[in-house]
Chain A
Amino acid sequence: MSDAEINLAELSDEDLVAQMHDDLYDGLKEEVTEGVNILLGRGWTPYNVLTIALVEGMRIVGVDFRDGILFVPEVLLSANAMKAGMFILRPLLAETGAPKIGKMVVGTVKGDIHDIGKNLVGMMLEGAGFEVIDLGVNTSVERFLAAIDEHKPEILGMSALLTTTMPYMKVVIQALKDKGIRDELVVLVGGAPLNEEFAMSVGADAYCRDAAVAVETAQIFMKRRSNQAGLAAPKPA
């Protein structure tokens, strides 16, 4: 039987999830949307649909992108398919009070309008349980500071695609230091021309080479933070 003849509604949960991973991989928006609705109809929680069907599917896409099997156009189509699924799940997740593991402010730095990578990171982080405040593109230091002030995130993520705009990350990090709030935040940076050495030179906490690494890194820092908070908490008498 060809893929075109598969009736998603007739598949078992396990086969349907596997098929949704394939459909995400192939960037099939309508099929992913249908799969999400079927799982919800079968009583799956929105959180489980998100993490088991969508996020896991995108994780596979991320691995193959990292390994050079998939390229940007394919990843974008997958992201589009996931976005369609997220569109259904987002309001349901809000209603059902899905667990939030942290808050992150993200933006493409001033002078730069490239947001493909940043959008992907935002979506994957949201899928991983982060509340994501996306400041968009061409984000000035003032806008970063105002958003940090307003939303009190644990993590700040900055993105740049241009060699000429990536130094602006240092401007933002310096402003955090000047304001005395640098140590309150984990700063993650990413973008095609960046590397680990650059991230360290501007004073970031970590360089994330792709969306999957950004999620893993954010999770590690949140875990570390919660361990430190546990250690610092007064011990019961």
Chain B
Amino acid sequence: MNTLILACGALAREIGAVIAANRLDHLTLHCLPASLHNRPERIPAAVREALAKFRPSHDRIFLAYADCGTGGALDRLLEEEAIERLPGAHCYAFFTGVEEFEAHGDADMRSFFLTDFLARQFDTLVIEGLGIDRHPELRDMYFGNYERVVYLAQTQDPNLDAAAEAAAARLGLAYARRQTGYGDLATHIAAL
């Protein structure tokens, strides 16, 4: 069966790694721009457009997105299109494992999460994307209610550890690291 994984660009490396490690040669990957992370209201329309484009050439499509701040709009589209997605509210949940993530509950309420991708792209997506580079005074308006950065590490990479720790310092927040691996992402992709 010819299956397409339509994914958030923030998951490209991770999905590629799972496909390679499990030799899932029947899967092909197409990514939508990771910049949609900052504009979740635009995700459903972008997904709808991509589905229309790729449906004719694929037997099956799987969506590698969580709800991602769409407030259920993505699920309504997927129900219409009879397509499945990754579990949970966001990538922080499925990397951690949705059950385990939910078990953290209010203890994580004031945590700002980074993944490998976000640690790598912190300056582009967070500092520049939110305008903090141009207007440093905005930092505390965005992050004043947060207490710490929690880096959910998919891999063991000292460079990313350093980048995540520097990101926490840049935001004036405490820092913690959790090794998650690929969590529910791996099990869902491997099962396709």
Residue in A73, A111, A112 whose CB lies within 8 Å of B130: A73
The reply on A226 being an interface residue by CB < 8 A is: no
Which B residues touch A193, using CB under 8 A?
40, 69-73
Contact with A along B57-99 (1 / 0, CB 8 A): 0000000000101111100000000000000010000000000
Q: Closest B-chain residue to A116, C-beta based?
A: B141
The reply on A13 being an interface residue by CB < 8 A is: no
The answer for the CA separation of A192 and B38 in the assembled complex, in Å, is: 11
Contact A162 to B89, CB < 8 A, known contacts A192-B40, A193-B69, A194-B71: yes
Residue in B71, B73, B142 whose CB lies within 8 Å of A166: B71
A114 contacts B40, CB within 8 Å?
no
Contact A76 to B141, CB < 8 A, known contacts A192-B69, A192-B71: yes
Q: Closest A-chain residue to B133, C-beta based?
A: A73
Interface residues of A in 106-163 (CB under 8 A from B): 111-116, 137-138, 161-163
Chain A interface mostly helix, strand, loop or mixed? loop
Which A residues touch B105, using CB under 8 A?
111
Q: Closest B-chain residue to A160, C-beta based?
A: B71
Interface residues of B in 86-145 (CB under 8 A from A): 89, 105-106, 109-110, 130-132, 134-135, 137-138, 141-142, 145
A77 contacts B72, CB within 8 Å?
no
Residue in B71, B109, B137, B146 whose CB lies within 8 Å of A163: B71
Which B residues touch A221, using CB under 8 A?
none
The reply on A219 being an interface residue by CB < 8 A is: no
Which B residues touch A164, using CB under 8 A?
89
Interface residues of B in 23-41 (CB under 8 A from A): 40-41
The answer for the CA separation of A138 and B137 in the assembled complex, in Å, is: 24
Which A residues touch B72, using CB under 8 A?
163, 193, 198
Contact with A along B10-51 (1 / 0, CB 8 A): 000000000000000000000000000000110000000000
- Least Cβ distance of B146 to chain A in Å? 7
Q: Closest B-chain residue to A198, C-beta based?
A: B71
A111 contacts B106, CB within 8 Å?
yes
Contact A113 to B130, CB < 8 A, known contacts A73-B135, A80-B137, A198-B71: no
The reply on A48 being an interface residue by CB < 8 A is: no
Binding site for A on B (CB under 8 A): 40-41, 67, 69-73, 89, 105-106, 109-110, 130-132, 134-135, 137-138, 141-142, 145-146
Binding site for B on A (CB under 8 A): 27, 71-74, 76-77, 80, 111-116, 137-138, 161-164, 166, 192-195, 198
The 3 closest A-B pairs by CB, nearest first: A193-B71, A73-B131, A113-B145
Task: A77-B138, A193-B69 are known; give 17 further A-B pairs, CB within 8 A.
Answer: A73-B134, A73-B135, A73-B138, A76-B141, A80-B137, A111-B106, A111-B109, A113-B110, A113-B145, A113-B146, A114-B145, A137-B145, A138-B109, A166-B71, A192-B41, A194-B71, A198-B72
